């Protein structure tokens, strides 16, 4: 799964804060081949490292948490610094994390192929989260595939040009996205499509689903807006809406050939677990589903984000820098920094998440909890589950 992750520059607050395209996350982009469950606490190594190679981007997405800029920043990690980062990632040991080259638009870096080759030579799997602009060509995709890119993500936030281009800020982006998907197929790159979930895109999701169903994708990842950065002009859906959407997604996941995942909406796992239990599946069988393989993964647990200037965060949506790869050991930051260790310790979680029987598998969006309350350990405000009343 590829998302464009980058933290906001200021803490979020109710009604408005930063949020990119993810994600995040969380989720998982690699997506090639079966993956066995690894446990719920990723205290030795993340599964995914998102590297925001640049802030430069030709789009002006309304929900971009990265607040992307037209030109590259002199603060970006250099080619050599990027290779040094990849060397340090080897310090996590096996199984090595998968690196998602994101931005901004990573295609704006002329050394992108060199960096991807460097990752591949080190045995690090690589995926790409490009922006859809004239820089995205079939030739560039073929070049990046040859360098070692395994999957790419494309964003599709509306079922027609008016809806998608309106969010992306540039006319013609919908058509270019369809063309990019066709090119990806031609060069042999599996595709993840990322779709933004807000109160304005919610009613269009069934139509988007039909569109992505015709694109031959590997995975559909729904990114649940955390209203930050440019995203603050958009609004999150309500907890009741998220619950209805999850039930629809679960049924969809059984019918469609592509996988379905959510980003910054880990409580989808609770809905899916309950549905699978009701269908008679064992815990072991549930853990081996595509949902089950993501159990536990959330901001700071299985996920690490490196910004364009080398700052290290628990995810692209959580604006808590813990250090910088120019001065600090990224392995040590991930394993030992109190922000990371507290995010992995669900016994410290508060409110409903703190007493929830699903906390280790779900854990809620730590980024949304922080955005709305200023406390990463608080309950996820998008989850309507009341553990004491419902079990
Ligand atoms: S209460 Fe928290 S841990 Fe439980 S399902 Fe909701 S978000 Fe997940």
> Is the C-alpha dihedral spanning 170, 5, 77, 151 positive or negative?
negative
Does the C-beta of 270 come closer than 6 Å to ligand 1?
A: yes
The beta strands (E) that lie in the chain are given as 48-52, 98-102, 126-128, 149-155, 191-197, 219-224, 259-263, 303-306, 311-313, 323-324
Strands 311-313 and 191-197: unpaired
The beta strands (E) that lie in 107-225 are given as 126-128, 149-155, 191-197, 219-224
**Per-residue pLDDT band at 233 (split at 50, 70, 90):** confident
In the chain, what is the greatest distance between 2 CA atoms, to the nearest angstrom? Answer: 56
292 has pLDDT over 90: yes
357 CA from centroid of ligand 1 (Å): 8
32 CA from centroid of ligand 1 (Å): 29
What average pLDDT does range 126-145 have in this prediction? 96
Which is higher by pLDDT, 303 or 27? 303
Strand order in the sheet with 311-313: 259-263, 219-224, 191-197, 149-155, 126-128, 98-102, 48-52, 303-306, 311-313, 323-324
Using most ligand atoms within 8 A of CB, pick from 356, 375, 376 the residue to mutate for ligand 1. 356
229 CA from centroid of ligand 1 (Å): 25
Which is higher by pLDDT, 7 or 26? 7
CA 265 to CA 272: how far, in whole Å? Answer: 12
Nearest CA to ligand 1 atom 5: 267
307 CA from centroid of ligand 1 (Å): 28
Residue 313: φ, ψ to 5°: -130, 160
- Mean pLDDT (the chain) is 87
11 CA from centroid of ligand 1 (Å): 22
298 has pLDDT over 80: yes
Does the C-beta of 224 come closer than 6 Å to ligand 1?
A: no
250 CA from centroid of ligand 1 (Å): 17
* Length, in residues, of the chain: 391
Can you tell me which residue has the tokens 């969809």?
252
Strands 303-306 and 219-224: unpaired
3-state secondary structure of 89: helix
Atom of ligand 1 nearest to the CA of 270: 5
The CATH number of 48-390, from 3.20.20.70, 2.140.10.10, 3.30.420.10, 3.40.250.10, is 3.20.20.70
**Per-residue pLDDT band at 169 (split at 50, 70, 90):** confident
Share of the chain above pLDDT 70, in %: 86
On whether the CB atoms of residues 225 and 63 are closer than 8 A, the answer is: yes
On whether the CB atoms of residues 319 and 231 are closer than 8 A, the answer is: no
379 CA from centroid of ligand 1 (Å): 7
Low-confidence winner among 21-25, 196-200, 268-272 (lowest mean pLDDT): 21-25
Nearest CA to ligand 1 atom 6: 383
> Which pair of structure tokens corresponds to residue 282?
């064992």
The beta strands (E) that lie in 132-172 are given as 149-155
What is the structure's pLDDT at 14? Answer: 22
Report pLDDT digits (tens) over 18-72. Answer: 223 333 322 333 333 334 446 799 999 999 999 999 999 877 666 665 566 778 8
What is the structure's pLDDT at 344? Answer: 97
What is the structure's pLDDT at 232? Answer: 64
Using most ligand atoms within 8 A of CB, pick from 243, 351, 363 the residue to mutate for ligand 1. 363
Report pLDDT digits (tens) over 213-232. Answer: 999 999 999 999 997 554 46
Atom of ligand 1 nearest to the CA of 383: 6
């Amino acid at each position: 799964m590829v998302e464009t992750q980058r933290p906001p520059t200021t803490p979020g607050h109710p009604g408005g804060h930063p949020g990119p395209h993810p994600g995040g996350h969380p989720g998982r982009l690699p997506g090639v081949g079966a993956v066995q469950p690894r446990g719920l606490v990723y205290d030795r190594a993340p599964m995914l490292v998102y590297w925001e190679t640049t802030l430069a981007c030709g789009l002006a997405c309304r929900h971009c948490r990265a607040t992307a800029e037209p030109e590259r920043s002199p603060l970006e990690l250099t080619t050599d610094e990027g290779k040094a980062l990849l060397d340090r990632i080897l310090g996590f040991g096996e199984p090595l994390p998968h690196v998602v080259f994101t931005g901004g638009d990573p295609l704006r870096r002329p050394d992108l192929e060199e960096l991807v080759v460097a990752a591949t030579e080190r045995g690090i799997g690589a995926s790409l989260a490009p922006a859809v602009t004239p820089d995205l060509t079939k030739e560039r995709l073929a070049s990046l595939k040859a360098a070692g890119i395994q999957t790419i993500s494309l964003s599709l936030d509306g079922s027609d040009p008016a809806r998608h281009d309106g969010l992306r800020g540039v006319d013609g982006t919908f058509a270019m996205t369809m063309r990019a998907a066709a090119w990806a197929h031609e060069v042999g790159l599996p595709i993840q499509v990322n779709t933004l979930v807000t109160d304005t895109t919610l009613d269009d999701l069934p139509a988007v689903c039909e569109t992505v169903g015709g694109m031959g994708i590997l995975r559909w990842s729904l990114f649940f807006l955390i209203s930050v950065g440019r995203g603050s002009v958009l609004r999150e859906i309500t907890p009741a809406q998220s619950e209805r959407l999850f039930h629809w997604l679960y049924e969809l996941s059984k019918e469609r050939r592509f996988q379905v995942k959510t980003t910054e909406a880990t409580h989808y796992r609770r809905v899916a677990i309950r549905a699978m239990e009701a269908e008679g599946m064992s815990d072991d069988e549930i853990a081996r589903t595509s949902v089950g393989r993501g159990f536990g993964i959330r901001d700071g647990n299985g996920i690490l984000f490196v910004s364009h200037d080398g700052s290290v965060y628990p995810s692209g949506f959580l604006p808590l820098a813990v250090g910088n790869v120019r001065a600090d050991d990224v392995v040590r930051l991930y394993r030992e920094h109190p922000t990371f260790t507290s995010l992995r310790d669900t016994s410290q979680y508060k409110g409903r998440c703190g007493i929830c029987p699903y906390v280790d598998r779900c854990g809620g969006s730590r980024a949304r909890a922080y955005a709305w309350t200023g406390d990463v350990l608080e309950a996820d405000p998008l989850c309507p589950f009341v553990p004491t009343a419902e079990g």
